[in-house]
Amino acid sequence: MSVLDDIVDGVRIDLAERESELGLADLRAALADVDAPRDPMPHFRAAGSSVIAEVKRRSPSKGDLAEIPDPTVLARQYADGGAAAISVLTEQRRFGGSLADLRAVRAAVGTPLLRKDFIVTSYQLVEARAAGADLALLIVAALDDDLLRRLYDEARELGLTVLVEVHDEPETERAIELGAELIGVNARNLKTLAVDHDTFGRLAPLVPDDRVLVAESGISGPADVQRFVDQGARAVLVGEALVKDGDARRAVEQMTGLETNEGSTA
């Protein structure tokens, strides 16, 4: 069993418990009280690098990263630093997150929010919107074609912007065929947790110019952001480097607005 399979198995167990406590019909009813979703795409398409700053306590590959007793404090620092969106981990077993974190951050900032989780059912999409998320993550490696299409369409119907994550060439082709507008290239293989720093540069040329590319994993500072921007990224998703920095606002500012270097082949 791969690391991804193990994570998804745990997600399904926790999901079944939540579903037993609150049915889908009641969850959908809660959508009536949620503000309209915020659209992050104009910011992502604007000139200069955009940052998706992540609230992330731990990870399967690195273990504990940072104590975050109040995620709203970190989220406000991200917002003040100019983050185009804020990613909130809601997976509990491996990442120490929760939907409570997402709801708290939603109440604290007006920045578009990404629910970062291993989404495998419609229920999770409705959960995301009910908790105030504006974006949802769909990981191609965790979904077959039919389920990927169904969840993508359902997310769009809910008004969610979908970040479709890929790790290799076949997954990139699937994301393109899906019509995904926002494609995240993760340098970390979720089946093994190994990182290949050349992944983005290898996959970016396969993606049509009308799509928006997000670089994920392996970003420690502005130099890494610049490298990905030069290779075609319009946004970067950064977690570990920001939660460990000590000055999250400044760190986001330093990664924001970087433009393609003259003479780049991107």
Residues with active-site annotation? 54, 56, 116, 165, 186, 216-217
- In Å, what is the CA distance from 33 to each residue of 72, 125, 204? 21, 16, 39
Q: Within a 10 A sphere around the Cβ of 71, how many other Cβ atoms?
A: 23
* Residue 167 to residue 165: CA distance in whole angstroms: 7
Phi–psi pair at 99, nearest 5 degrees:
-65, -25
H/E element, 208 = none
Concatenating the DSSP letter of every residue in 114-147 gives EEES---SHHHHHHHHHTT-SEEEEEGGGS-HHH
Q: Which of 198, 191, 248 is nearest to 61 (CA)?
A: 191
CB 25 within 8 A of CB 103: no
CA distance 66 to 30: 32
Question: What is the sign of the dihedral through the CA atoms of 97, 52, 201 and 161?
Answer: positive
Q: What is the dihedral of CA 196, 64, 113, 188, to 10 degrees?
A: 10
